[in-house]
Chains A and B, each alone.
Chain A
């Protein structure tokens, strides 16, 4: 399992499930804290965690810094491996996914760039 910081868990959940085809794996709440992970049907052994910075995990200053870092796209790359990049691009773009780079053919593979609503990409 690898976690991402997102600005809003409901928004992130809708994005990864409705637009990218993930499904919920675990969604547990305890007060303000919500442990939320999704998985993709093609790779059920992997979970993607969608977490918001904030109490009780972070103090206010740290949470604000993390929110800023996510929003300016400074978190590490998130790469989804697909069978057919161009087809996947067409499919999820039609659902409103924000792309930063159209599919580019290089050295025999094709890649495209996208961002989630929070700024991860």
Chain B
């Protein structure tokens, strides 16, 4: 059974229809352009012209993460950029990047990046950057955190199973 366990975790390559992939990319692009908005699977599926169940499965297969977790990484990137580049308060940044509460934002940000929004702002402002010559959309894509596991799973592992899962992922 050990092999069965391994194959569950390794990402095997399966061929996908390029025409479908192009439409999945469109939904991903729409999330990139408006990551502060709500993107339930039904809305994304409409952009791609497929059923919700088909969308969720195909998106993960194509891009390696479920759509709601992908959106989360874009929101974290946006928040980190606003912390770095603007004087907006952390509360304003939380709402501007799509979170419904400051508490959820702060906790999720810390869980994903390992640092609080305030600490990130201080560190990012101290670091010199030379990003003027990189087009914005590529910069955003590059600064997205690599979130290979669910936030709830990350919390669980860090808590070593001492706490129950208080909530599921923020979508």
Contact = CB atoms under 8 A, between A and B. Distances in A.
Interface in A40-93: 64, 67-68, 70-73, 77, 79
Contacts of B136: 101, 104, 106, 111, 113
A119 B32 contact: no
Contact of A113 (B16, B22, B62, B137): B137
Interface of A: 7, 64, 67-68, 70-73, 77, 79, 98, 100-102, 104, 106-109, 111, 113, 115, 118-119, 121
14 contacts: A7-B18, A64-B18, A68-B15, A70-B18, A72-B22, A72-B25, A73-B25, A73-B29, A77-B135, A100-B32, A101-B32, A101-B33, A102-B33, A119-B21
Given A100-B32, A113-B137, A71 B132 contact: no
Given A106-B132, A109-B132, A111-B137, A71 B29 contact: no
Dominant SS among interface residues on chain B: helix
Contacts of A102: 33
B24 A100 contact: no
Nearest to A72: B21
Interface string B30-50: 001100000000000000000
A118 B25 CA distance: 10
A113 B114 CA distance: 30
Interface of B: 15-16, 18-19, 21-22, 24-26, 28-29, 32-33, 62-63, 131-132, 135-138
B135 A72 contact: no
A118 B22 contact: yes
Contact of B63 (A70, A72, A107): A72
